[in-house]
Amino acid sequence: MLGFEAVALSSPDASGLTMSALLAANLLTTPPAQPLVIPGDATTSAALGYMHMNCGVSCHNRDTGGATQTAFYARLDVSQLVDGGVRATDLWMSGVNQMSHFLLPGAAHSVVFAPNDVDASVAYYRMDHRDFPILQDGGGIQMPPIITHKLDDAGLAIVSAWINSGCQ
């Protein structure tokens, strides 16, 4: 990622140049009206933050993302963090119990995130696979689709915990 990213700069774990430092130095043209906090309990906040950075910033977003055709948007919009809770995020609205264009093997239909059912959640399935075979439509199974060759076990655990908590 090149440049600034408000949600990441606002993380309690951020170091170096942070949102707090930018605000204190009066370096923002339009500073947020209140602190940017990813909504939800610790499990939910971790999962939404993980998917924001790993899925939403570069691909699954409404702006310049290469995955806009999927209608799954994982980028956390600043206005959604200020104005609403978990269910107000694009990630929740476009992912939880929402039909996926990708079909899980043997399934008649598939959803991006199936609350309390990791095995029925397309996003988790695709995160959990590497070295994909190329499909008839030219796409693949693994997410992210390029560059990664090893599973992110910590990320999978975060997303699995969120799904198993009912995606709340």
Domain definitions of the chain by residue range: 1-36, 38-164
Task: Determine the pLDDT at residue 133.
Answer: 57
pTM for this predicted structure = 0.87
Phi then psi for residue 60, to 5 deg, are -85, 75
Please write the tens of the pLDDT for every residue from 37-60.
899 999 999 999 999 999 998 889
Q: Cα–Cα distance between 119 and 147 in angstroms, integer? A: 25
Task: Determine the pLDDT at residue 1.
Answer: 45
Burial class (CB in 10 A: 0-12, 13-18, 19+), 100: buried
Is cis: bond before 32, omega within 30 of 0? no
Please write the tens of the pLDDT for every residue from 49-89.
999 999 998 889 988 777 878 899 999 988 878 667 899 99
Please write the tens of the pLDDT for every residue from 18-41.
989 999 999 988 888 888 889 999
